[in-house]
A and B are shown apart, each in its own frame.
Chain A
Amino acid sequence: MASKERFEMPWQYNFPPFFTLQPNLDTRKLQLEAWSALILKYFRSHRLHIIDVNEAQSSPLFHNVSLNRKLSTETIQLILEELRRTGHLEWMDKQKRRGWILWRSVDDWAKLLYRWAIDNGMSNTVCTLYDLLHGHDTADEEFHNMDQDLMQRALKALELQKKAEVISMDGNIGVKFF
């Protein structure tokens, strides 16, 4: 992916103490904020939506190979909790092992989808979920290839606003925009 090469880690990433939870509360607060911002930026530029705590440590994001430093699972949990507090993360399970990283809120995703539908004259017609996620028409959109469940949540949000209706048919999902 082209965006992968373009992504530059912030200076903190090459600063060893960044990978250890700071004892001083003020410093720790700043540290958590910096990590939150970094995670959101990293996920956005790589178009990722799901974080798996078990696999997180093997990601270059939390493991700086050149420094030979990595964040402990506990610290990762702490940062993720901070993200949840600011509304940028939603857990998928009660064990808090997997979660959505919402670098764009569900409502904003919904807006984006709706604008695409209107701009492309898709109102009053039926689109399949597959079409929205992987179709040729959405290749340039940010929601192309996004997490299917997350897209479904955005569509549900549109449904509540009466801007769309989700149709489920033999396990195939479609949506009609209005």
Chain B
Amino acid sequence: MGNLFGTSKNVSRVTEHDRAVLQLKVQRDKVRQYQRRIEVTMEKERQLAKRLIQEGKKDKAKLMLRKKRFEEQQLTKAEVQLEQLDSLLMNLEFTQIEQQVIQGLKIGNECLRKLHETFKLEDIEKILDESREGIEYQRDIDSLLSGSITTEDDDVVEEEFAQMFADQFPEVPKEDLEEIGDTAPRKDTGKQKATERRERQAQLAD
């Protein structure tokens, strides 16, 4: 039973694509390992050649260096291969991402299409018509309501309006006028001057 459940639950999330990428990466690792191995042997041979020269074994030393040279060339070849593998890998991985993007676009498109399907053009016209009717109805109500006001009410409204209109101007202070009369052609406009005047007034009152 457990096995049955296990298999149904554990659907592998590793795709064929992943396996291909892994295969390439394994190849890349092998080239890297090869490089490392060659580097180590080259170093050993260099040391050996050095020793052979010290021991006076010229021919053997030369042979060693020739071998090392050959390995150097192999190393360069491996480098080129590594580069190729790397670029191939990048392409592969990028294609995977592109695929995902396309998949995403597809899903988005499908979603948009379905949404459009639910909103049919006639429905929208109907909704707009209905709301227009609603507005007109509201307007009718408004006109009915304003029509119910009598001329008597209008008079009251006018009166109140006149009162309010008058109230919005401040009362003209009488004392100020006298003051201005004393010092004839002075024109007080600035606020500063107004406060000065008020101070003086206070002094006078004392």
| A-B interaction | yes
Number of A-B contacts (CB under 8 A): 38
Q: How far is the CA of A127 from the CA of B26 in the complex (A)?
A: 9
Partner of A169 from the list B12, B13, B23 (CB cut-off 8 Å) is: B23
Inter-chain contact A172/B22, CB cutoff 8 Å: yes
For residue A165, CB closer than 8 A to chain B, the reply is: yes
Q: Is the interface of A mostly helix, strand, loop or mixed?
A: strand
CB distance from B34 to the nearest CB of A (A): 12
What is the bound-complex CA distance between A174 and B12, given in angstroms?
A: 14
A66 within 8 A of B: no
B12 contacts which chain A residues (CB < 8 A)?
Answer: 165
Cα–Cα distance between A126 and B22 once the two chains are bound (Å): 6
Asked whether A169 and B21 contact (CB < 8 A) given A128-B26, A130-B29, the answer is no
Bound complex: CA of A172 vs CA of B25, how far in Å? 10
Which of A125, A165, A172, A176 is the one whose CB lies under 8 Å from B26? A172
A131: which B residues are within 8 A, CB to CB? 25, 29
A143 at the interface (CB under 8 A from B): no
Residue of A at shortest CB range from B18? A126
Write the nearest CB–CB distance from A173 to chain B, whole angstroms. Answer: 9
Q: How far is the CB of B18 from chain A (nearest CB, A)?
A: 5
> Which residues of A (114-140) have their CB < 8 Å from a CB of B?
125-128, 130-131
Q: Complex: how many Å from CA A12 to CA B32?
A: 45
Nearest A-chain residue to B100, judged by Cβ: A124
Q: Chain B residue with minimal CB distance to A128?
A: B25
Q: Is B95 an interface residue (CB 8 A)?
A: no
Against B, the Cβ 8 Å flags (1 = close, 0 = not) of A163-178 are: 0010101001010101
Known: A125-B21, A125-B93, A126-B22. A165 touches B29 (CB 8 A): no
Chain B residues within 8 Å of A167, by CB: 14, 18-19, 22
Nearest-neighbor residue (CB-CB) of B25 within chain A: A128
Interface residues on A, range: 10 to 19
For B20, give the chain A residue with the smallest CB separation. Answer: A126
Nearest chain A CB to B19's CB is how many angstroms away?
6
Give the complex CA separation of A59 and B143 in angstroms: 104
Q: How far apart sit A167 and B18, CA to CA, in the bound complex (Å)?
A: 9
Chain B contacts with A in 83-98, Cβ cutoff 8 A: 93
A125 to B92, CA, bound (A): 11
Do residues A165 and B13 form an inter-chain contact, with CB atoms below 8 A? Answer: yes
Q: Is the pair A130, B22 in contact by a Cβ cutoff of 8 Å?
A: no
Contact with A along B1-43 (1 / 0, CB 8 A): 0000000000011100011011101100100110000000000
Indicate if the CB atoms of B29 and A128 lie closer than 8 Å. yes
Closest 4 A-B residue pairs measured CB to CB? A174-B22, A130-B29, A172-B26, A126-B22
Q: Which residues of B contact A (CB under 8 A)?
A: 12-14, 18-19, 21-23, 25-26, 29, 32-33, 93
A residues sitting closer than 8 Å to B (CB atoms) are 125-128, 130-131, 165, 167, 169, 172, 174, 176, 178
